Structure 1
Amino acid sequence: MLAVSVALVVIVVLLMLEVPVAFVFGLASFIIVILTGRDIEFLIPYAYQQESSFALLALPLFVIAGSLMGASGISDQLVRFVNSFVGSIKGGLGAVTIVTCALFGAIAGSGSSAIAAIGSMMIPRMVEAGYPRSYAISLVACSSVLAILIPPSVAMILFAITSGLSVAACFLSTIIPGVLIMAIYVVMNIFQARGFKDLEVEPKVTFPERLGKIGRATKGAFWALLMPGIMLGGIYGGIFTPTEAAAVALIYTLPVGFLIYKGLNMRTTTDAFVEGARNTGAIMMMLFFLFIMSRAMVQENIPRDIAEFMLSLSDNKIVILLMINALLLMLGMLVDDTAGAVLAAIVLLPVTNEIGIHPIHFAAIVGTNLGLGNVTPPCAPLLFMSGAIGGQTIDQYIKPTLKFMLIGHLPVVLLVTYIPDIALYLPRVLMGVQ
């Protein structure tokens, strides 16, 4: 446990100093290797073998497809589609932002992609319509978490691979929690919008005019909405694996971006591939070191020791789950969702196995907790990214953010934790998970 304690201190200190995550885990993994006396010549081939898995190939494909979709102009079509339904309601533009982030998550699978594509468009638009800038920033940041929960999710891919679970089942486990959070945010937004006195609202239109607007918006967004349908329908219809679905998504994106939405050209496509390659490289380097760390920890029986320690504190399942939630929240506060998903699978999955928590249920607990942690300071990568796009400091937008976190997201975390059927219903119905 000394090795883990030292490594944990190093991780926290270096992350607070904003050292790149991959280098942080690289140093921490070698500290564990040295202090435990493990053979690095065995651990490096193991990490390489883990990174060579077919399932992990889905990661770069989804990341690059998300980058291409962000550059293709799809976000504008999604905004128009959602706005055609709720644009004339007071607070409708906020609801558009929330739902569009969820839809974009079903395409890109990344919270940061959702902020980059939707936040850069919707924050200025919301401010122009009379929303406080601080509110617009917090709404985009909290809504971007939906991209982690609505499949395909990069974090769930990594959790499934690390823990040896079905990627498709892990995808399904977070759909209902994601929809619940989205619905709560929409209701909260509509109630809060009543207090914005200068809020502009689209003029009311007749029912036939509304139908015409919805029809035109649906036609414009058809190809964007078809993409998640093809991917998820193919996965759960048994047509292709999640990795093959990622390849289909990438191939599908190119003609749609070039010929239909026309946001892609040679320059934007090259930039999207470079950005996707850069993001993938950073994730893969981080994973390499995490796999080294995880193998050394398993050889030292550290996950089992952690499980025994937590069980020694209490044998009450409710209390243990509460402690696990607290640890996951702190984990999400320090690292992004990808690193957090791998660490949760390594360290905490053995604990949940000991107390009889279904692994797919735990996947949903991990997803909802890491999403909350990613907008919780001190690190809060999604929150700070939204603030940078909106041009404010955290002291200006932390108050509205806390409202969404405490009233909207946290209750869903607790519901998912203590009502397993929220996570397990879809995997059982669609995949026969027991």
Structure 2
Amino acid sequence: MLFLLAILLVIALILIEVPIGFAFGIGALFYGFVAGIDISFHATAGFTQISAFTLLAIPLFIYAGSLMGAAGISDRLLAFVNAFVGRTKGGLGAVTVLTCALFGAISGSAAAAIAAIGRIIVPRMIEEGYPPGHATALLSVSSVLAFLIPPSIPMIVFAIAIRESVAKAFLSTVIPALLLIIIYCVLNFIFLRKNTSIKVSPKQPLAKTAHEAIFAGKRAILALLMPLIILGGIYSGIATPTEAGAVAAVYALFVGLLVYRSVSFKNLFGTTVDAARLTGSIVMILLFLFVMSRGMVLANVPGNVADFLLSVSENRIVILLMINLLLLIMGMIIDDVSGSVLAAIILLPVTQEIGLDPIHFAAIVGVNLGLGNVTPPCAPLLFMAGGVTGTPLANYVGHTMRFLLLGHVPVLFLVTFIPELALFLPGLLD
């Protein structure tokens, strides 16, 4: 009961916009105070967990993504994708989806994808006749791909929390991400098929299109190589995720400063400070989450949750549906990193009781938390997309729900009930 009160306090603090890390910190202090527990015991465990070598990959990937963003790669990626699909009706929508996926493979951050791509592509879409609500909604739902395309920061955190391979957790969400890319592109074309206000660039000879694609590809090649370097190093066994993150940071620094020359030393300082600030906020969140999770384990909260769900039903399908409902609620209230830790702590015992593979569970968590982050009422990515593009929420929330109900929700059900979608690629590493 005391721990339930602490959790309710955390939720209340988050809803009144207290920073998530501090909300969990206050919740942990409250629980320790009312339960008469020495909080320093939990704090020691929290510091031990955030000192894990694998977690060092997070600041390195954040810094690499920040550097590549400062180098202006979003323009190059947009031009590259646009060369292939830009001259069809609804083509710019497909460009948005594909570019968010590519940017996610570089930065690992959905918020960074919205900020870098939204300011460029959405005004252009509106200028060419796209409904502002449709353009903003497509940006918000596509940003979730950054959760699912490796390297994914939430998957790093989740893998560490459940003590599983980061490389396998990365691969578990790749097929779901590909399905979402295809479905969102198809839905975009379907929704716009009767829209007569959209301007379409005239067709041109294949040779000229090929020339444009080659030119755009040359400009974007160094950006496109970055995820290949990261993932190639990890899956070839040459580097751990942390070492790959270090290589990515050095590579991004080299590209931005010396090749593209779009990052000056003055910009470099600002970019470094921004990356450090983001890293600090994530570490603060993780520390207090680990402190609170220690209290959860000692209070047997995971075991109680498992007992409760199993008392409702022993049917595997029903339990999976209840797990997804809890994950969706988590994603609607808190960010992806916090949700990953809580899912690992609270729901992993339930999945173990029904024999769910931890890597399969990783895919479910990734897809579901992404859905929650663009689902009202809190929906941080949904509101961020509107803020970046200047579109009122009422103009795009309906469009967003259409994309989610027809695209993201079906993929979530597929991933939940067809384990091979999550386990096929990780199985290749065995």
TM, length-normalised to structure 2:
0.98
Q: How far did 1:40 drift?
A: 1.7
Q: 2:113 matched to which residue of 1?
A: 114
Cα deviations by residue, 1:322-371 (Å, 9 ceiling, x for unpaired): 00000000000000101100110010011101110000000000000000
Cα deviations by residue, 1:217-268 (Å, 9 ceiling, x for unpaired): 1111110110000100110000000000110110000111122222211122
Q: 2:414 matched to which residue of 1?
A: 415
SS in 2 for 1:392: coil
SS in 1 for 2:287: helix
AA aligned opposite 2:102: L
Residue 338 of structure 1 pairs with residue 337 of structure 2: yes
The separation in 2 between residues aligned to 1:28 and 1:392, in whole angstroms, is 35
AA aligned opposite 1:150: I
RMSD over aligned CA atoms reads 1.0
Q: 2:302 matched to which residue of 1?
A: 303
AA aligned opposite 1:8: I
Q: 2:206 matched to which residue of 1?
A: 207
Whether the 8 Å CA contact 1:146–1:178 is kept in 2: the answer is: yes
Q: 1:267 matched to which residue of 2?
A: 266
Q: 1:141 matched to which residue of 2?
A: 140
Matches within 5 A, 1:211-222: 211-222=210-221
Residue 255 of structure 1 pairs with residue 254 of structure 2: yes
Q: 2:379 matched to which residue of 1?
A: 380
Whether the 8 Å CA contact 2:82–2:92 is kept in 1: the answer is: yes
SS in 1 for 2:8: helix
Whether the 8 Å CA contact 1:3–1:31 is kept in 2: the answer is: no
Matches within 5 A, 1:396-407: 396-407=395-406
Q: How far did 1:138 drift?
A: 0.7
Whether the 8 Å CA contact 1:74–1:261 is kept in 2: the answer is: no
AA aligned opposite 2:100: C
Q: How far did 1:32 drift?
A: 2.5
Q: 2:67 matched to which residue of 1?
A: 68
The separation in 1 between residues aligned to 2:310 and 2:370, in whole angstroms, is 26
AA aligned opposite 2:411: V
Q: 1:230 matched to which residue of 2?
A: 229
Residue 87 of structure 1 pairs with residue 95 of structure 2: no
Whether the 8 Å CA contact 2:132–2:395 is kept in 1: the answer is: no
Q: 1:322 matched to which residue of 2?
A: 321
The separation in 2 between residues aligned to 1:171 and 1:57, in whole angstroms, is 16
Residue 193 of structure 1 pairs with residue 169 of structure 2: no
Q: 1:21 matched to which residue of 2?
A: 20
Residue 159 of structure 1 pairs with residue 158 of structure 2: yes
Whether the 8 Å CA contact 2:100–2:145 is kept in 1: the answer is: yes
The separation in 1 between residues aligned to 2:357 and 2:54, in whole angstroms, is 22
The separation in 2 between residues aligned to 1:318 and 1:386, in whole angstroms, is 34
The separation in 1 between residues aligned to 2:31 and 2:167, in whole angstroms, is 33
Q: How far did 1:305 drift?
A: 1.1
Q: How far did 1:319 drift?
A: 0.2
Cα deviations by residue, 1:362-421 (Å, 9 ceiling, x for unpaired): 000000000000001111110100000111221121010001110010000000000000
Q: How far did 1:277 drift?
A: 0.6
User: What percent of counterpart residues are identical?
Assistant: 54
Q: How far did 1:422 drift?
A: 0.2
AA aligned opposite 1:359: P
Whether the 8 Å CA contact 2:137–2:397 is kept in 1: the answer is: yes
AA aligned opposite 2:92: L
SS in 2 for 1:155: helix
Whether the 8 Å CA contact 1:115–1:385 is kept in 2: the answer is: yes
The separation in 2 between residues aligned to 1:326 and 1:386, in whole angstroms, is 24
The separation in 2 between residues aligned to 1:144 and 1:235, in whole angstroms, is 24
AA aligned opposite 1:173: S
AA aligned opposite 1:211: A
Q: 1:5 matched to which residue of 2?
A: 4
The alignment covers a number of residue pairs equal to: 430
Detail structure 1 runs of 4+ shifted over 6 Å in the superposition: none
Q: 2:423 matched to which residue of 1?
A: 424
The separation in 2 between residues aligned to 1:163 and 1:39, in whole angstroms, is 26
Q: 2:48 matched to which residue of 1?
A: 49
Q: 2:96 matched to which residue of 1?
A: 97
The separation in 2 between residues aligned to 1:417 and 1:410, in whole angstroms, is 11
SS in 2 for 1:162: helix
Q: How far did 1:36 drift?
A: 3.6
AA aligned opposite 2:121: M
AA aligned opposite 1:268: N
SS in 2 for 1:280: helix
Whether the 8 Å CA contact 1:91–1:193 is kept in 2: the answer is: yes
The separation in 1 between residues aligned to 2:195 and 2:269, in whole angstroms, is 42
The separation in 2 between residues aligned to 1:366 and 1:323, in whole angstroms, is 13
The separation in 1 between residues aligned to 2:318 and 2:44, in whole angstroms, is 39
Gap runs ≥5 in structure 2: none
AA aligned opposite 1:341: S
Whether the 8 Å CA contact 1:162–1:345 is kept in 2: the answer is: yes
The separation in 1 between residues aligned to 2:404 and 2:3, in whole angstroms, is 31
The separation in 2 between residues aligned to 1:379 and 1:372, in whole angstroms, is 12
AA aligned opposite 2:226: M
The separation in 2 between residues aligned to 1:306 and 1:105, in whole angstroms, is 34
The separation in 1 between residues aligned to 2:128 and 2:245, in whole angstroms, is 37
The separation in 2 between residues aligned to 1:49 and 1:341, in whole angstroms, is 18
SS in 1 for 2:374: coil
The separation in 2 between residues aligned to 1:366 and 1:407, in whole angstroms, is 19
The separation in 1 between residues aligned to 2:315 and 2:260, in whole angstroms, is 55
The separation in 1 between residues aligned to 2:146 and 2:260, in whole angstroms, is 22
The separation in 1 between residues aligned to 2:210 and 2:34, in whole angstroms, is 67
The separation in 2 between residues aligned to 1:315 and 1:156, in whole angstroms, is 29
Q: How far did 1:94 drift?
A: 0.6
Whether the 8 Å CA contact 1:73–1:262 is kept in 2: the answer is: no
SS in 2 for 1:232: helix
